[in-house]
A = this chain, B = another copy of it.
């Protein structure tokens, strides 16, 4: 198939690349400075290093043909990359820390991703020193490859309901692992389907007839010599999924499988040779599931790196796509041309909040990582005081960022019109790979209950006059109960005044979240509403809390800039967009808050103010997404290319489909003609008369 040569002009009358260059010329700030601020210098350096390697070794890391690949081909590419990454680590060319960036840039958690993200950290946190000497060393050396087997086919959210058992067999000094029922089948376990040699299995522990709750135990799954499943182990892949098909989520059923006593992770429980159990008193029992806090924080990071890809494609393509003419257009449209669709208010209204969220999520990632590291530092010293707050906040952020990211990608898909539906948009693989985040590591509708519970308990304690620690997540609740918040400046401001005051925005968001928490408490305590009846309001409470947290983290990150930084205006405008967008989407809740602080006349101004602000940011949309520095390889998008050569490459990508070009295409097309279509077309005769 030849690229047609008779075409007069590639894109009439203004070429997409020229339009993109024009958008860039409007930048009110240095894109490089913005990149260093929002992505961090550390990330940019790692990214550049990794991209140099990827570009030098396309045979190992090229993903440009991923849209044509079957699941097996995708897995093959993923395995190949994983092997090479480990070699590169051994050669000292990349570090263990760099693998976070490699995952982002390849756009996939490979089959060894969870070995690094869940298996090794669990050994680090919960194995005794003696066990670390053996297992952790092997794991870090990839002599064993591990997974984390918690969820069962019949049990997800209810961890206490897990059915897999480990029973101490004193005679042989072993534990016997067993799956008693079909519903106890371990399911969804990443890296279990094909890859792993060992599993960290969460089991109901029984010793001498006594139950010791859920504990992690290391169980060999496949031979490290032949890789064949070990006796008593029925193991396989859970099959094709909506996305994330480069990970081999697996299932396993144990038929009375024995492992040495030594394999039970013993930092938080000790089992002696005679079955005597010792449990350290100072440890919070929830530390067993500590790895889930870590993975939620990782998810916040991943979501911010996924939404920037969508925002980049969305902003670039809607800048160059022209459709119809808006007569009120500010930039005069050249004769015979049409308006860029980003000039339409409806497109700005949908896209710009995604850009704002992307910035806010990146800032949030930086702050929550710092917080998490501080927490882990404290835990290693036996101090668990931050656990409740970081648990509640990570649950809320996991929900907020995953929902925002999925909606953001979908929005960008939609504003690209029909072309968003093509794999060559780059948005669909992103969408399906991002999607499972709404469920894994805690279903978003379950997680919001954890946050709601924390907020309600805290406000209840404050109301009861109990001492409540003054951490970042409870201060606003105290201010609410004391009546200080309601008297703040925000309550006397018009919407447009609010839009210009980051302080007042934070106050309003804090007030709203606290009032919603208080309202739920009152509903339960005074109006007899049950937990089940209150469930419907919990996602909104959790999200309202997060709207406040994200806004304050974003603010905190902006304030790290020098006072006179030229980056500040755009960043604060993005903050205002996010604020107004939040109000616009929750007006119903806002108007029904107790106290009648807000009127419907006041609320009438939200949407026009939001439109005004998105129209301003629209002018900076392309520079703002350029600052994310998402490499073209990672975009893998005809629509979002940095050079703006959109339709040329879109057509070329289609032409290169093995169903269009080459031997395979000729063969399969001939076959379909000979077998199916030809006989239909040639076997005519008596059908028309019947119709």
Contacts of A677 in B (CB 8 A): 79, 83, 145, 195, 227
- Would B420 and A236 count as touching, CB distance under 8 A? no
A10 at the interface (CB under 8 A from B): yes
* Number of residues on chain A facing chain B (CB within 8 A): 154
Given contacts A142-B684, A256-B6, contact A345 B535 (CB under 8 A): yes
A263 at the interface (CB under 8 A from B): no
A144 at the interface (CB under 8 A from B): yes
- Would A439 and B418 count as touching, CB distance under 8 A? yes
Q: How far is the CA of A87 from the CA of B661 in the complex (A)?
A: 31
Contacts of A31 in B (CB 8 A): none
- Would A255 and B4 count as touching, CB distance under 8 A? yes
The one of B445, B588, B687 in contact with A86, judged by C-beta atoms closer than 8 angstroms, is: B687
Contacts of A440 in B (CB 8 A): 418
CB distance from A156 to the nearest CB of B (A): 6
A213 at the interface (CB under 8 A from B): no
The one of B11, B68, B240, B438 in contact with A182, judged by C-beta atoms closer than 8 angstroms, is: B11
- Would B181 and A11 count as touching, CB distance under 8 A? yes
Given contacts A181-B9, A418-B151, A439-B417, contact A240 B67 (CB under 8 A): yes
Contacts of A256 in B (CB 8 A): 6
A587 at the interface (CB under 8 A from B): yes
CB distance from A150 to the nearest CB of B (A): 11
The one of B4, B144, B238, B590 in contact with A681, judged by C-beta atoms closer than 8 angstroms, is: B144
A673 at the interface (CB under 8 A from B): yes
Given contacts A421-B435, A687-B86, A688-B137, contact A158 B535 (CB under 8 A): no
Segment with Cβ contacts to B, from A265-273, A362-370, A548-556, A647-655: A647-655
Residue on B nearest A136 in the bound complex, by CB: B688
Segment with Cβ contacts to B, from A19-27, A69-77, A461-469: A69-77
- Per-residue contact bits, chain A 279-313, to B (CB 8 Å; 1 contact, 0 not): 00000000000000000000000000000000000
In chain A between 169 and 197, which residues have their CB closer than 8 angstroms to a CB of chain B?
179-185, 187-188, 193-195, 197
- Would B253 and A4 count as touching, CB distance under 8 A? yes
Segment with Cβ contacts to B, from A204-212, A320-328, A499-507, A560-568: A320-328
Contacts of A537 in B (CB 8 A): 607
- Per-residue contact bits, chain A 248-261, to B (CB 8 Å; 1 contact, 0 not): 00010101100000
- Would A532 and B79 count as touching, CB distance under 8 A? no
- Per-residue contact bits, chain A 624-660, to B (CB 8 Å; 1 contact, 0 not): 0000000000000000000000011011011101011
A277 at the interface (CB under 8 A from B): no
CB distance from A86 to the nearest CB of B (A): 5
Contacts of A424 in B (CB 8 A): 239
- Would B338 and A161 count as touching, CB distance under 8 A? yes
Segment with Cβ contacts to B, from A88-96, A100-108, A373-381, A472-480: A88-96
Residue on B nearest A448 in the bound complex, by CB: B346
Q: How far is the CA of A237 from the CA of B251 in the complex (A)?
A: 38
- Would A650 and B181 count as touching, CB distance under 8 A? no
CB distance from A661 to the nearest CB of B (A): 8
Question: 10 shortest A-B CB distances, which residue pairs?
Answer: A587-B588, A140-B688, A588-B588, A79-B676, A346-B535, A236-B660, A242-B428, A141-B684, A143-B684, A240-B423
29 A-B residue pairs with CB within 8 Å: A6-B255, A9-B180, A9-B181, A10-B182, A76-B672, A83-B675, A86-B687, A89-B687, A90-B686, A92-B690, A137-B688, A138-B684, A142-B687, A143-B684, A145-B680, A145-B681, A158-B338, A197-B681, A236-B660, A238-B654, A326-B531, A346-B539, A349-B536, A417-B439, A533-B611, A587-B588, A587-B589, A588-B590, A591-B603
